[in-house]
Structures are given as C-alpha cells and as structure tokens.
Chains A and B, each alone.
Chain A
Amino acid sequence: MKLSLSRLLLAGAFALAVPLSASAADVTLLNVSYDPTRELYTEFNKAFAAHWKSKTGDNVIIKQSHGGAGKQARAVIDGLQADVVTLALAYDIDAIHEKAKLIPKDWQTRLPNNSAPYTSTIVLLVRKGNPKQIKDWDDLAKPGVAVITPNPKTSGGARWNYLAAWGYELKRNGGDQEKAKDFVKKIFANVPVLDSGARGSTTTFVERGIGDVFISWENEAFLALKELGPDKFEIVVPSVSILAEPPVTLVDKVADKRKTRAVAQAYLEYLYSEEGQDLAGKHYYRPTNPKYVEKYAKQFPTVNLFKIDDVFGGWQKAQKEHFSDGGTFDQIYTNK
C-alpha cells in the first residue's frame, strides 16, 4: 500500500510533466560558423526553415554565431551549445573531437566531399586602379606595401592566407622551406593591423581605408565589390592559390542532448541540395554540384589551385608546424 502510493505520486508527476514537455512545437538550432558566412546562412536558414516546414510541418528557428573559426571552435569546446558547426577549416573541427569529444573522429567522412558542401579560395583585393601595382604574392613582400590579413591564431581564413602565400613561394623556389619562411615573414612585416577574423579585416580594409591589399576569401572580396561597387576595389587573382574546403558537421553530443539530431542532419544535407548549392554560388562560394559549378563558372576566375594535403601534408601537420605555440607564425611575427 505504501509502495503503491509512492508509485502513484511519481507516475502522476510524470504524467503531468511529459505532455507539457512534448508540446513544444518549435525547434531551435544553433549554427556556429566562421566570419564571412553571415550573408550565406542568413538566406540559407530561411530556405531550410521553409523546406523543413513543408516537409514535416515543424517550425525550425536557426540561430547563427559568427567569428574567427579558431575562436568559434574554442567556444564550442568550452560549452557553446552548437547543434552544427560550419567552420573555415577541418583542423578546428578536429579540435572539437580531440578536446571535447563532442563528435566522432571520423566526422569528415559523414558527408560528401569531405563534408565540404562548397569550396573557396584566397584572392587579393586592392584599391581601384591598383596604385601599388600588385599582381601576385611577391608584391606583398615588398617594402612600403601595407597588407591586411587577420590573425592566423584566431582566424581560419588567415591560416588559408598564410599557407597560400607559403605554398606560392615553395613552388617558386623549388621547395625551399627557409625561403618560404622568410617570404611570409616579409609579408607579415607589412601587416599593420591583425584582426581576429576575416570580417574584421574587411572592415579594416574596406571601411577604415587602411592598407594597400587585402588577402581575402574569394567570397568576401566579391561581397566587397558588390556592396561598395567596382569603382572602389579590384580583385587581383594570384598566379597560385590554395583550395579552401570549409567543412560542416553535426555536433553529435549537443544534438542528441537537445534532441535535434534529425533536423540538424537535414540542415547540413540541405547544403548539398540544389537550392543549397544555388545559394552557395549566389553568395560567391564555389558549389560542388557539377550543375551549379557550371552555372556559376563565369562568376569565378580560373585559378591555379593547390591542395593543403599535397603541399603541407594535411591540416594536422600544417597546424602543428605553423600555427601551434612556437610554430613558424610565432617565429616570424612580432606584434607591433
């Protein structure tokens, strides 16, 4: 009798609580992304929400968080409840596995193209008329040229910039690492301001009028042209650049805890859909679906691209050698 009464009490409470908790109709996702993807995901989120509503009848509200990719990954490791991350490079997502075990080690195999639904590259943005006559990477190392790039310690884009310049010099001098180091050192000696993320560097170059050349994500450079007009800036395509593959992944433990796995997975898969690919192209990311590669082919200049795996042996190795504490970046850069 006593036992049955206690069971009755507990069952009653659960009976009261469960329907109330299950009645929530809206689902909320948090997409933690890197700096220049604001515009892409603002539009993509609306498209996905409409798609999800028509498919399931559920409302999904996607919140965005943007910043330097390294900082964003650190925030997720420190507890920011991201259902998905869409970051600038694989290493930062690897860190989420290594330091917080929020995702499996093989996260990059779960979606096509190494989980990179779109790609990009690094170009040079100069002021109209190109007053310093910048044509390639070697012009950035010349005295008197002010170069704008974010901090590779905090920005994924900056690491792509750094490695693009390094790879260019390696190709030019036949693989001499010391010469490449000296070359990149000269470029960074020309950097007057290090922002923490790519969007901050855009502000520095475009809005504050600082510097002669901005080492930029291709999409960010196109955005500057679109927003401010081709009468203000020009894009200089270097002879060689790097193929940037910004990857995406579900954050398993957060999604499971928040019971958002299905919608979060669908969100990422929708990046590969025709609408997702079209939006990527529209926002100057290079689509991976051949149909949309073709559609946007005229928009993107032809660039001689190298892969990080081919020149640097992958992100893990590149990170350790160049961007970890005491790595080459710490050796060449003196805070001004």
Chain B
Amino acid sequence: MTFKATQIHGLIAATLIGSGALVFSGNALANDSSELEALRALVQELDQKIRVLDRKGEIAEAAAKDEKKKQPVIKANSGGFTIGSADGAHVFKLRGQLQFDNRSFFGDNDPDLKNDNVLRRIRPRFQGTLYNIFDFDINTDFAPDTTTVQDAYINARFLPEFQVQAGKFKSPFSLERLQSGNWIRFAERSYVADSISPNRDVGIQIHGNLLEKKLSYAAGVFNGIDDGRSGKQSGDANTDKEFAVRLFAEPFKGEDSVLAGLGFGIAGTWADQKDDAVADRYRTPGLQTFFEYHADTKSNGNKIRWSPQAYYYYGPFGLIAEYARSSTDVKRGINTATLDNDAWQIAGSWVLTGEDNNFAGITPKNNFDLKKGGWGAWEIAARYHELEVDKDAFDGGFAATANTTTNFGRNATEKAQSWSLGVNWYLNKNVKIATTYDHTSFDSAYANIKDREDEKALFTRFQVAY
C-alpha cells in the first residue's frame, strides 16, 4: 500500500484540478480567487514535502549501499566459511577434512593383519590472505595419537610469476603427493608418492606460474627428510639441507584441444648428508611397512631423487603416471654403497556419470538427493604400481634385520607389486564414499626367506571435506 512518487504527484495534480473545479464551481457562487491561490500554495507545499521525503529515502538507500560496501563479506558455502574485508584484501577461511576408514584384510597372513576402523584424517584448516598478497595456511591433523601440524606456511604472492613460500608444506616433488588428499583416486597413494618421495618438509621455496599458467616452477631449500617421511616443524633431523626443484608444463592448457588436459614435468631433490640415520620407510597400500634400513646404516654423502611425471585428463577420463628413483650413499661399518631404490605407477580413472575428470577433483552434475532423484557422480579407477629396493641393500647388510615371523619377511622384500581397483561415489563436491581393493605380491631378496605373503586389502572411506 505504498505510492510511488509519480503516483503521489499525479494524485496531487488531480487534487489540484479537483480543487480548481470545486473552486470554479464555488466561483460561480463566491468568485473567491484568494481561496484558489491558497489551495495552490497548499498543494505545492504538500508536493515539496513528498518530494523531500522521497529524496530522503533515496539518500538513505544510497548511504545504506555505501555502508554495505564497507561491511565484511561473510560466506558459508561448499568451499567452507569465509570472512573477507569489504575490499577483498583480507580473507579468512575455515575449512576442514574428515576421513573415516574401514580397513579389511583378506588372506592367510600370519599373524593376521588387523581389520580396523580408523579416523584417517581429522584436519580443521585455517587459511587466509592479508593485504591481497600474503597467504597463510595452518593445517593440523588430529587423527594421529599425537596431533601433527601437517602444513603451516606463509606464501607471499608478489607476482603470479614470483612467489615466496616459507614454513612446513609439501616438498615440490611427487605429482600424486601434491594432489590434495581429498582428491586422490585410491584410499592410499602409490609407492611413488607414499614411499620413495618426501612428504612435507620445513623450508622456503620460490615458485610461480609462467606463460599464462602453462608452466609452473618451484625451487626450494628444506631441512631434508627421508623417503616417505615428513619433517618435524621444530628442529632438523639431519646434518644438511635438501634442495628441491620441480618444473611442470601444461602446454595446451586453456586451448580447445584434446591435449588441453595434458601435463608433464620433472622434479628432483639433492642433499649431502653424513652420519645420519637413514630412516627411509617403504610400505604397502595397506600401510604395512615392509622395508627399513638397519639402525646402524648411516648416510654417507649424496641423496638424490628424481621423478618424471605426467597426467592427462580428457572428458571423464583421467590418467596419472610417475616414476621416482631415490639414490642414497650409505655406509654401515666399513661397507659403503650407493643404493638405488625406485618405484613407478600408472593409474587411470573414468567418471561413469560423465562429469569432467580433473586433477583437482570432480564436481557432480547432480548432487545426491533422494527427493530430487540426484545420485552424484560415480567413478571407477585402476592402478598398477611397484617398488624395487636395490639388491645391494640386502647383500651389503644395510637393510634392517629380516624378520621371518612377522608378516613373513619384513625387511626381506626386494620388490613389491600392487594392482588396485577403486570405486568412488561423489555424493556432492564435499562428500565422498570411496572403496579401494589392493592386491600386493612381494619378492624376497633372500633365497632362504620365502616371499612375504600377498596382501589383499579392502579400504572403504567416508569423507567430508570443505
């Protein structure tokens, strides 16, 4: 029941005319022109008052809009909770990741591998940006018995081409390691990422994107860590620093080409370390450690890793492949050697429901919703990967003492080969149910120790990430 100004002004005009008519008819009786003037003045006064009220409303509305522009912007959506300053220069995000796993092992392992329910990752994450330049990320994992700071770093984005990142974060090496744990296609990463490659380390790197993001680079100096390990946030566990470099190209990125989703690169690390314990740890897709060095095995010079790597995504199809070699100069007593351990993987996936496959995840076309009939996105995946330990690790006595009773030959395995099948159900962008079956066979390094028994592991994961 509100009148617009024009309606009101029309009403006033009608009133004026009506008043004139009344006066005109009255004029026949009294011819009172002064009354007409008074009415006109009254109408003009009322018209001004209405115009003033209308204008004050406009001004108040404009002021409210201006004020709104100064208010912080609060968002709560599938990307987490975000509070940003009105100008967008400062942003604070609360994100999180929760993974519940059921782990079942099949076969005749002796002793039996323990079937389990575990919380694989519990990671509330606080991220943000200050002054449009300085990003920070604090990612803590409450899943281990001892709470672990997974990531804690500052990234200064001086230019897209030149950024400086310092703190604890993923070492720029393995392609699959750099993929978010939310979006790996199998319950656990391959031997390349999980065993041969460094995980997170404390250091500083320069990195950036060149040529319209078709080429990315990273080069950094880190405390240095053993294969398959993460660095401690306080204190360096070895004597010298480790250098890491990675180049990755996507030459057809953004183009209308079947090769638009092709990316390939190479990464390497180098360190010169002496007399430190070599704590490399290799484990199966079922997260059972099958190789470690003897406690008396020490570093004795160079530790060099290198890894060619690639992925390819086209429509619902995705492929990732990488190789990594870790060469370590070691000594035990008077024995010295350079041990070359390597691993490779190739994994493909297909989104059955037709969504685009992507390194950074899959967004269902229709979210799971029984009422609306949406079933999310479904994906199948297959992988082959293997890891081979240098024979000299066993012949030279550098491997830990073989245990012939636990899992049939821990530290006696020279080669592990695994194939994996996965089914992933993305209920929406944030919720995933994933099942992976891994079958691993082992080759013993010793003629007198039989092969470790095959591992048959079925891991099922319920994940929420935002």
Contacts and interface: CB of A to CB of B under 8 A. Distances in A.
B221 interface: yes
Contact of A195 (B59, B159, B162, B210): B59
A208 interface: yes
Contacts of B210: 16, 20
Interface in A146-160: 146
Contacts of A193: 52, 55-56, 59
Contact of A20 (B48, B56, B159): B159
Contact of A208 (B54, B63, B206, B219): B54
B169 interface: no
Contacts of A195: 59
A16 B217 contact: yes
B52 A192 contact: yes
Given A2-B240, A2-B272, A21-B162, A9 B52 contact: no
Nearest to A14: B162
A210 B55 contact: yes
Contacts of B161: 16-17, 20-21
Given A5-B243, A9-B219, A16-B161, A208 B59 contact: no
Interface string B28-71: 00000000000000000000100110111001001100000000
Interface string A1-36: 010011001101110110011000000000000000
A121 interface: no
B413 to A, nearest CB: 35
Contacts, number: 61
B223 to A, nearest CB: 14
B347 to A, nearest CB: 31
B48 A6 contact: no
Contacts of A200: 59, 62
B241 interface: yes
Contact of A17 (B48, B162, B220): B162
Interface residues of B, number: 27
A131 B57 CA distance: 27
A35 to B, nearest CB: 13
A208 B54 CA distance: 9
Interface in B151-174: 158-159, 161-162
A192 B48 CA distance: 9
A196 interface: yes
Nearest to A6: B221
Contacts of A86: none
Contact of A6 (B55, B59, B208, B243): B243
Contacts of B59: 193, 195-196, 200
A203 B208 CA distance: 50
Given A2-B240, A208-B55, A9 B245 contact: yes
A209 interface: yes
A14 B87 CA distance: 30
Contacts of B159: 17, 20-21
A208 B51 contact: yes
A204 interface: yes
Given A9-B219, A193-B55, A17 B243 contact: no
A204 B59 CA distance: 10
Contacts of A204: 55
A200 B87 CA distance: 24
Contacts of B63: 196
A131 to B, nearest CB: 10
Interface in B242-285: 243, 245, 270, 272
A334 to B, nearest CB: 15
B343 to A, nearest CB: 26
Interface in B132-161: 158-159, 161
Contacts of A211: 48
A10 B243 CA distance: 12
B378 to A, nearest CB: 42
Contacts of B206: 9-10, 13
Contacts of A21: 159, 161-162
A10 B220 CA distance: 9
A2 B224 CA distance: 14
Contacts of B245: 9
Nearest to A71: B66
Contacts of A20: 159, 161-162, 210
A190 to B, nearest CB: 12
Nearest to A195: B59
The 3 closest A-B pairs by CB, nearest first: A17-B162, A13-B206, A9-B219
13 contacts: A2-B272, A5-B243, A9-B243, A16-B161, A17-B158, A17-B161, A20-B210, A21-B159, A21-B162, A192-B48, A200-B62, A209-B51, A211-B48
Given A13-B162, A21-B161, 7 more contacts: A6-B243, A16-B161, A17-B162, A20-B162, A21-B162, A193-B52, A210-B48
